Amino acid sequence: MTRRLILALCLVAIIGAGSWFAWEVRPTQVRERLLDSLNARFDGRAEATSVQVSVYPQPTLSGTGLTIRLRELPDVPPLISIDSFEASAPLLGLVGRQFHLSTVKVDTTNIYLPPGGLRPAVQSLDLTARAPRGDRSPILIDEIVSRNARLEIATRKPDKLPHVFEIHDVVMLGFGLPEGSRFHAGVTNAIPRGLVETSGTFGPWRTEAPSLTPISGEYAFKKANLDDIPGISGILSSVGRYRGTLERIEVDGQTETPDFSIDLAGQPVPLSTKFKAIVDGTNGDTWLDSVEARLAESTILASGAVIRDRDIKGRRVAMDIRIKDARIEDLLRLAVKAAKAPLTGRMQMTTTFLLPAGEEDVIERLTLNGQFSLAQARFTNIDVQRKIVTLSLRARGREKADPAAPGSSVVSNLKGRFVMRDAVLDLQQLTFSVPGAEVQLAGTFNLRDEMLDFKGDLLVDATLADMTSGFKSFLARLAQPFFRRPGGGSRVPIKISGPRSNPEFGLDVRRVFKRG
């Protein structure tokens, strides 16, 4: 009798449990629990066009038109919209206090992050704190797989374009865990176009402020074609690590471009960089804390920002650049078409670097404003170098000395200020010295056609008569009053013009008569 009673009670319990489970996993109930869990997790309003549930042989559900809107921003696009999804669940995953799914596969996902936080109190939050381990997410998903997603991050300024990423082959593990979710994804970078492979930890999701959600990981960006940026060329690769929150991501990375070139000259030069930067993931703006670039055998240090400040394609790059003890020939290879750099020597330089957004060639948009100096320099063009040597000899009254003395460079203390704009280099206060003379120049060098147009003065220790002989010396004595220099010697107005490969050096006759 007792045994029959126990069996009857067990049968009643089984039937009751089965009935309860069947009631709890009916499609309308599962749909409601799914949407309630998503509402609680994202502090939003979740909706679905359809949800289907199957219990045998394993609990599964599928659906279409799933959207999650932020409760406090009902008029902005949905935070998440998914065209369709399929999911599996453990036996009790659909009925427990925590909605638990094993694997979720989603197709055509759009994610929209609004600018900034959702509430004024967001500013007082601890950016580095993780959700307490005791806080249990209302939904837990062991694995999320997405093959095609689009992330749009709105900017705080209405005149700025949103930042958009194409995200491929996302695998996220442990969504809803208090320590965050591990992930791996491929992200398409727009310019230069290429695939960034990244993996790390995302979350826990900050319901009260999505932009403060923690993120960390590492990335690899390989074989990006710089031809996508008008005016430059090369194949870039980059690797690095990142950490922080969506609105403040600290990045440590390095790049390698073995064949970097500017289309103007078309000469490849190896370029590598190491950098520390802060990226605002809510708008894509980047602050370059420090950049150390190695161009061939020269080191360039820079800091600045890469921001989008106008409603046009691209970003504005503004930097302060410092170059110390670099080879000027390494830099000239980028700007001059000649196989051999026209000038060699060790250079110091400081300049501002401004590259506005736009689709024109880099050389047309780039603006530089700075100063440079070379302690010793040598012109590689033998004709130019010979003219410089001859100038030095005549300045010391040695016209008939051999100007082809081998080897040494006679140019020293070459320095000046410069502004480059619209592919034209405007040099002011350009001075250099040779034994017995100093040259002071100002003028322009057109980077497109490589034409020189300079005017200035030649200051020499000797008189014009000392610089010539014979009848020329007699004429020079007559002309000396026009060229007399206070304190002795001569001041000769000169001009340099013509193509870079074969410039013309001559007396600026017009200025002579004006002075007279």
Residue 274 — pLDDT band, cuts 50, 70, 90?
Answer: very high
Give the C-alpha separation, 106 to 82, whole Å: 7
Do β-strands 451-460 and 235-245 pair in parallel, antiparallel, or remain unpaired? unpaired
Note if the bond before 258 is cis, omega within 30 degrees.
Answer: no
* Least confident window among 84-93, 431-440, 487-496: 487-496
pLDDT greater than 90 at residue 351: yes
**What is the end-to-end Cα distance of the chain in Å, rounded?**
137
The residue ranges of DSSP E strands in 248-314, in sequence order, are 248-262, 269-279, 286-295, 298-307
The pLDDT of 482-502, averaged and rounded, is 73
Cβ–Cβ under 8 Å, residues 420 and 470: no
Residue 369 — pLDDT band, cuts 50, 70, 90?
Answer: very high
The pLDDT of 129-133, averaged and rounded, is 42
CB neighbourhood size of 511 (10 A): 16
Residues with Cβ within 8 Å of residue 29, at least 6 apart in sequence:
23
The pLDDT of 482-486, averaged and rounded, is 61
Q: What SS3 class is residue 384?
A: helix
The pLDDT of 405-432, averaged and rounded, is 79
pLDDT in the model for residue 121: 39
Cβ–Cβ under 8 Å, residues 427 and 415: no
The fraction of the chain above a pLDDT of 70, given in percent, is: 74
pLDDT greater than 70 at residue 409: no
pLDDT in the model for residue 129: 43
For 375-399, b where at least 16 C-beta lie within 10 A, e where not — what string?
eebbbebeebbebbbbbbbbbbbbb
pLDDT in the model for residue 135: 61
Residue that wins the pLDDT comparison between 254 and 473: 254
pLDDT in the model for residue 126: 45
Classify the phi-psi angles of 34: left when phi > 0, otherwise alpha if psi is within -120 to 50, otherwise beta.
Answer: alpha
Residue 462 — pLDDT band, cuts 50, 70, 90?
Answer: low
The pLDDT of 348-376, averaged and rounded, is 86
Residue that wins the pLDDT comparison between 490 and 324: 324
pLDDT in the model for residue 466: 54
The pLDDT of 239-265, averaged and rounded, is 89
Average pLDDT in the chain: 78
Residue 125 — pLDDT band, cuts 50, 70, 90?
Answer: very low
Residue that wins the pLDDT comparison between 362 and 315: 362
pLDDT greater than 90 at residue 273: yes
Cα 280 to chain center, whole Å?
13
The pLDDT of 206-232, averaged and rounded, is 84
Of how many residues is the chain composed? 516
The pLDDT of 287-307, averaged and rounded, is 89
Residues with Cβ within 8 Å of residue 414, at least 6 apart in sequence:
345, 373, 374, 377, 430, 431, 432
pLDDT in the model for residue 481: 54
The pLDDT of 113-141, averaged and rounded, is 54
Give the C-alpha separation, 341 to 501, whole Å: 11
Residue that wins the pLDDT comparison between 275 and 316: 275
pLDDT greater than 70 at residue 118: no
At 258, give phi and psi (nearest 5°). Answer: -70, -15
The fraction of the chain above a pLDDT of 90, given in percent, is: 19
pLDDT in the model for residue 23: 46
Model pTM score: 0.74
CB neighbourhood size of 168 (10 A): 14
Per DSSP, helices labelled H in 311-428 are 328-335, 362-365, 382-395
